[in-house]
Structure 1
């Protein structure tokens, strides 16, 4: 224990009884594994071999490509990482990223207004511009990400700026897309629910030529969603989405492979900004009422085009390089409803409508080149990475406002027929370029010890908008393996998060340039593989501090124009621990589960923000947990049981409004049958089995209301 205490002593780590208990458990686990090794394993050193010494199953992944920018085994990664395979989310009939990420309790959901989803990792909100990766390249994620194209979702916890540059202190979400296959695959899927929503999917792949040097993977999706909440004219919110995805691989030579990717998403939906909470935290007006007008909508068009090459110089060295161009256009016709100043009863006092039509044009161009090698020197083995990446960002906006009105509930407001092309101020534009160079080395000293060292230099150029930003982001880690099936690690890493300018017409400081936020983390963790490597157990303690924190608060006295203010200063400190289990417990029983304890608060040290000192950020629960299991009754019949717990959270920055904690139970059953020689599966899921009332993510002005008992039915045929 003295070594552990010494590591965290300089950080003034506050040990709770629970924290000490977790450390004790990790220590006991290490001792138990060591005893087991003495009893069962020969005394000779046994090298851990990834391919031949481990078994894999549909609930457990062996590596996370985003964690180390390569396929390095999770046991050799000194960082907390959770990989969510598509098998699990297919079982859960997940339709969006929020339904995928409930499988990691360190991720909490925020507002879902405007047909986008907001998430936090370890209590820190992810930025749309720097918090999400697809195959290791940053994506502008201001929309509901398609999940049908994904092979797995990787939750990389803690700062990852050393590898990816601008990124938040809580972590990153890396979405890994499906790859072409050698064997021919053709799957048709359909799912629906009691509201009449439908989703049709096609997933096909295989080799195009006899030599199998050209391969493909394609995914097509058509989704029509009927939501359960209602507009005040009695109609429901609807969503119409179409997705096309194509990935081609070409073996140009035995050593050179080219991959071309293309995806296109068209996604249009009515707007539901969420519910309003009164000062007591109670929902105003009922669970199913939508305050937005039925003519309001968002229409997103997203296209990604990219290419990647892998060139094997020899058996030990290779070059990875890639480029992706993302074009994201959105029209948003918004009624922008809000409570009247000082009112909590819109049925008596009415509420405000401020319509506007807006056009957004985001363009993300990313590229990278990595030089990767394995070599031995001075008796040490090295897994070496040298690379660089670049982001070219552009944003343009047109916006026109309509007349503000005070309306009563159920009072129809005609469509103002606004046209964003009438913007008298012309197009607002912003752009910057971000460059980064990084070097990383994972050094294996012997069978027991490994050391990770890396550093990155970043530069963000933003002419005329606050100048340039620079940062050095180091990362260090040490791994100790007391047994062949277990490791204990410690790491230190830093984050660098440029903030850009405030882009909110209702903010007092709209268009004000913000300085970068800087964060650092200390993490102590452990990983163990049990049952012949089929079950992975993890645990981690973390301490993250961010300086120059950006906070947006509601004004105490809103004006006709301004409702909020964004400022910077002080620190934000998040401490906690998390544990997880993922894999196969027996021949018939599979499990994925996690839990997190979080102590998050602002430490402003700024006189005009003393009201935030000691406060907890919005949607940062102290406790959260989840579990999803599969039990195979026969080769054809399987049952699932799941539960999600989210503790009490604050709904506003000054912590005067809280949302109660809740537990949601889910059930599922699947049956596979042979029809004309083809595997056909049918699945029935029930979410929120006990019809629990709960509030999900969002603040007191845009909270997502949890849906009651929900039935889903899915069919899948494999050819």
Structure 2
């Protein structure tokens, strides 16, 4: 956040009563604004505008009633210092996911971490899993349907947002999330139902997309790498008219790669145009579309016996593909949406946002079922979408007002609104027999046998939510957050083959949030919070009673700090998160379930983000997570939740030379540690710990950029648990190089 090197800006007599306004650089991260009044100290206000950014309001004493002769003290100029993140810094001071408005991280009574575009680019990240590797509390893998699967604080999460709107389908079924149109990723840890409705308790991931720029911008890149990887990208933006009220941005990319896995190939397309229109000084609307297409070979993993466990036949080759060469897994996604913002005045504004995502998917591949007792024969089944692609569409609407006002002398920042969400899932799928495969002598192309089952159904999930949240300033260094939300949900299933299996279930829930933030000194915040989440459970118990929603309850305390002139920020959090009303087998009627299950996660988390020295940036995280079964009729009490290590840590750091003949040259280093994890809820097997090392070297000179990224530098062999008795082998050592041109 700087003016051009060595420059300052002055405005003489801009309005009556104001002598001079000066804007100058204070340091690499701070602007100093000085306002001098003609007859006395002016009134200067600073506030955030959603349509115009940071706005200064200046009122002179001349514009008020006649003032007495000013004293010398009154004639002193007013000075403000504005601190922002320098270009290239990893430190992002504000986030909107926790409050729906840009809020300083230190004022949020919950742990939240932001992964900026600069970090993702330096890592050479090609998807969201790559980018979020630096957030040590997240465990991630790509599911058999090739959607991203994330585990936060011990619980798998489907809470995916796209610019603050629910995008659960986008995260689960549209394939790996590409990053070419993503500006930053915000990770809110713990329940978020108070603002976003039903969801898992572990956390929420919000993908913030790139927005149109008022000045012409062009960026193109070409990445090539191991396993025939290549990815061209294009990012262009600028004004569409002379007064710059109509802006556009267009991101286009193509990605293609093979793999260390036999006959594996993946290709993905992304086209994402965005247009914004500043209708008047107080009203702005942004229209966005996004087209994604992914054609990727399905992943089913390998048996644990022969990979992380011993097998009398030896080690299973990690390159083995247990499917057939003609396996199909195609996904098409089209997103349309808008975001309308209107500012009534400096204190009140209104946001109306909508998006719809249409997804079509076509699956035709074998599934791994079970390893036979001989340790080499893998039983499989064939899954086929018939009658055309399956459909998974979602609609999301959010409508809210934000306001700043005082009651009883206390400053309030209010967010209140309602949202609507609908998901429609339709598919016609068969399961058929297919020949088993010998893991040590595979024979492909085996014919598909008889159909064993057919599932042809439509599922509709509706959610209507009313929410309110208030951030109350009790004292200059003490803030209280109070929030609550009521949800009314309805799920229905229509079975086109068996009408007796049709069912519909309504539910309602209230989700509160309470938080307190205390700043004993300016750079330090102490906080405590209580929050809840809920998630609908479909079905009935023995006797016909409907299941209640599962409820997540979290208690969290922590400390946040801003250091080195706010260039570096950190959060230390301690929490307990309990998921209750978990379904478990009815001991008296084993074909039914009861809601006596409970799972609990306790942990400590530390994350540090920002610029340590000029040019030296880092993102570091550590998490201790004790996630276990506390009540259940099937799994032993104390069993650890799957894919949740006790200890995990990550570090990504870069240094860029800014002076001398080395200006523009930079280096990056990444260390990612994941401790031992259990493979399933039975705790039947464990997956070993690992340390992965990444490295980067890059050079930026003028418009040209060159980068080399080395991933899994020491070729460490490591695995991710997939499901009962299966694991995913992860990528070995790879290299990728990128050439970019920006102006």
Q: Tell me how far 1:500 sits from its aligned partner.
A: 4.1
- Alignment partner of 1:392 is 2:422: yes
Q: How big is each residue's C-alpha offset from its partner over 1:346-378, in whole Å with a ceiling of 9 and x where there is no partner?
A: 1xxx22232121242111011010110111221
Q: How big is each residue's C-alpha offset from its partner over 1:147-204, in whole Å with a ceiling of 9 and x where there is no partner?
A: 2111100101010000001121111111111111111111001111121110110011
**Contact 2:462–2:490, Cα closer than 8 Å, also in 1:** yes
CA distance in 2, matches of 1:402, 1:169: 36
Structure with a larger share of its residues in helix: 1
Pairing 1:52-91 to 2, within 5 Å after superposition? 52-57=81-86, 58-91=89-122
Q: Which deviates the most, 567-576 or 543-552?
A: 543-552
SS of the counterpart of 1:655?
coil
Q: Match of 2:35?
A: none
Question: In structure 2, which of residues 664, 678, 681 is the aligned counterpart of residue 653 of structure 1?
Answer: 681
CA distance in 2, matches of 1:565, 1:548: 15
Unaligned runs of 5+ in 2: 1-44, 49-53, 55-80, 493-501, 586-590
Pairing 1:82-121 to 2, within 5 Å after superposition? 82-110=113-141, 112-121=143-152
In 2 relative to 1, CA 715–418 (structure 1 residues): closer, same or farther, beyond 3 Å? farther
Q: How big is each residue's C-alpha offset from its partner over 1:555-612, in whole Å with a ceiling of 9 and x where there is no partner?
A: xxxxxxxxx99875311110011001100111131111010001111111x4x32x33
Q: Tell me how far 1:551 sits from its aligned partner.
A: 6.8
- Alignment partner of 1:227 is 2:256: no
SS of the counterpart of 1:467?
strand
Q: Tell me how far 1:146 sits from its aligned partner.
A: 2.1
- Alignment partner of 1:519 is 2:552: yes
Q: How big is each residue's C-alpha offset from its partner over 1:667-694, in whole Å with a ceiling of 9 and x where there is no partner?
A: 11001234xxxx1111011111111121
Q: Tell me how far 1:423 sits from its aligned partner.
A: 11
Question: In structure 1, which of residues 312, 317, 325 is the aligned counterpart of residue 348 of structure 2?
Answer: 317
**Contact 1:226–1:239, Cα closer than 8 Å, also in 2:** yes
CA distance in 1, matches of 2:583, 2:331: 28
In 2 relative to 1, CA 639–340 (structure 1 residues): closer, same or farther, beyond 3 Å? closer
CA distance in 2, matches of 1:313, 1:658: 57
Q: Match of 1:462?
A: 491
Q: Match of 1:328?
A: 359
In 2 relative to 1, CA 568–194 (structure 1 residues): closer, same or farther, beyond 3 Å? same
Question: In structure 1, which of residues 411, 417, 429 is the aligned counterpart of residue 458 of structure 2?
Answer: 429
CA distance in 1, matches of 2:354, 2:518: 37
Q: Tell me how far 1:432 sits from its aligned partner.
A: 2.4
CA distance in 1, matches of 2:484, 2:504: 26
Q: How big is each residue's C-alpha offset from its partner over 1:255-287, in whole Å with a ceiling of 9 and x where there is no partner?
A: 111111100101001122112112963585122
Q: Answer with 1 or 2: which has the greater Rg.
A: 2
**Contact 2:687–2:721, Cα closer than 8 Å, also in 1:** no
Q: Match of 1:602?
A: 629
Q: How big is each residue's C-alpha offset from its partner over 1:652-711, in whole Å with a ceiling of 9 and x where there is no partner?
A: 21112011111111111001234xxxx111101111111112113423544221222211
**Contact 1:355–1:403, Cα closer than 8 Å, also in 2:** yes
Question: In structure 1, which of residues 428, 432, 444 is the aligned counterpart of residue 473 of structure 2?
Answer: 444
In 2 relative to 1, CA 377–386 (structure 1 residues): closer, same or farther, beyond 3 Å? same
- Alignment partner of 1:549 is 2:582: yes
Q: Tell me how far 1:379 sits from its aligned partner.
A: 1.1
Q: Match of 2:704?
A: 680
Q: Tell me how far 1:408 sits from its aligned partner.
A: 2.9
SS of the counterpart of 1:181?
coil
CA distance in 2, matches of 1:224, 1:575: 41
CA distance in 2, matches of 1:395, 1:341: 34
SS of the counterpart of 2:148?
coil
- Alignment partner of 1:636 is 2:664: yes
Q: Tell me how far 1:402 sits from its aligned partner.
A: 3.2
**Contact 1:400–1:418, Cα closer than 8 Å, also in 2:** no
CA distance in 2, matches of 1:395, 1:513: 22
SS of the counterpart of 2:290?
strand
CA distance in 2, matches of 1:212, 1:418: 63
SS of the counterpart of 1:66?
coil
Q: Match of 2:369?
A: 338
- Alignment partner of 1:353 is 2:380: yes
**Contact 1:111–1:698, Cα closer than 8 Å, also in 2:** no
CA distance in 2, matches of 1:599, 1:652: 15
Question: In structure 1, which of residues 165, 171, 186 is the aligned counterpart of residue 197 of structure 2?
Answer: 165
In 2 relative to 1, CA 209–567 (structure 1 residues): closer, same or farther, beyond 3 Å? farther
Question: In structure 2, which of residues 535, 549, 561 is the aligned counterpart of residue 497 of structure 1?
Answer: 535
**Contact 1:278–1:700, Cα closer than 8 Å, also in 2:** no
Q: How big is each residue's C-alpha offset from its partner over 1:272-316, in whole Å with a ceiling of 9 and x where there is no partner?
A: 211211296358512221212221121000111011100111111
**Contact 2:201–2:552, Cα closer than 8 Å, also in 1:** yes
Q: Which deviates the most, 535-544 or 250-259?
A: 250-259
**Contact 2:363–2:384, Cα closer than 8 Å, also in 1:** yes
Unaligned runs of 5+ in 1: 1-46, 231-235, 503-508, 553-563
In 2 relative to 1, CA 416–216 (structure 1 residues): closer, same or farther, beyond 3 Å? farther
Q: Tell me how far 1:49 sits from its aligned partner.
A: 9.0
Q: Match of 2:615?
A: 588
In 2 relative to 1, CA 102–213 (structure 1 residues): closer, same or farther, beyond 3 Å? same
In 2 relative to 1, CA 161–204 (structure 1 residues): closer, same or farther, beyond 3 Å? same
- Alignment partner of 1:300 is 2:331: yes
Q: How big is each residue's C-alpha offset from its partner over 1:514-535, in whole Å with a ceiling of 9 and x where there is no partner?
A: 6421011000011111110000
- Alignment partner of 1:249 is 2:276: yes
CA distance in 2, matches of 1:646, 1:185: 40
Q: Tell me how far 1:55 sits from its aligned partner.
A: 3.1
Q: Match of 1:204?
A: 236
Q: Match of 1:278?
A: 305
Q: How big is each residue's C-alpha offset from its partner over 1:311-334, in whole Å with a ceiling of 9 and x where there is no partner?
A: 111111000011111111100101
In 2 relative to 1, CA 161–590 (structure 1 residues): closer, same or farther, beyond 3 Å? same
Q: How big is each residue's C-alpha offset from its partner over 1:471-522, in whole Å with a ceiling of 9 and x where there is no partner?
A: 01110000000111111100000001124469xxxxxx9xx98642101100
Q: Tell me how far 1:338 sits from its aligned partner.
A: 3.1
**Contact 2:434–2:448, Cα closer than 8 Å, also in 1:** no
- Alignment partner of 1:367 is 2:397: yes
CA distance in 1, matches of 2:604, 2:275: 42
CA distance in 1, matches of 2:298, 2:725: 14
**Contact 1:621–1:647, Cα closer than 8 Å, also in 2:** yes
CA distance in 2, matches of 1:636, 1:500: 56
Q: Match of 2:637?
A: 613
Q: How big is each residue's C-alpha offset from its partner over 1:607-635, in whole Å with a ceiling of 9 and x where there is no partner?
A: x32x3311011001000000011112332
Question: In structure 1, which of residues 173, 183, 186 is the aligned counterpart of residue 218 of structure 2?
Answer: 186
CA distance in 1, matches of 2:524, 2:47: 13
**Contact 1:356–1:418, Cα closer than 8 Å, also in 2:** no
In 2 relative to 1, CA 100–550 (structure 1 residues): closer, same or farther, beyond 3 Å? farther
**Contact 1:111–1:702, Cα closer than 8 Å, also in 2:** no
CA distance in 2, matches of 1:398, 1:516: 28
Q: How big is each residue's C-alpha offset from its partner over 1:363-419, in whole Å with a ceiling of 9 and x where there is no partner?
A: 101101011011122111111111100101111111123333233344434375899
In 2 relative to 1, CA 282–307 (structure 1 residues): closer, same or farther, beyond 3 Å? farther
SS of the counterpart of 1:99?
helix
**Contact 2:656–2:666, Cα closer than 8 Å, also in 1:** yes
SS of the counterpart of 1:615?
coil
SS of the counterpart of 2:475?
coil
**Contact 1:161–1:494, Cα closer than 8 Å, also in 2:** yes
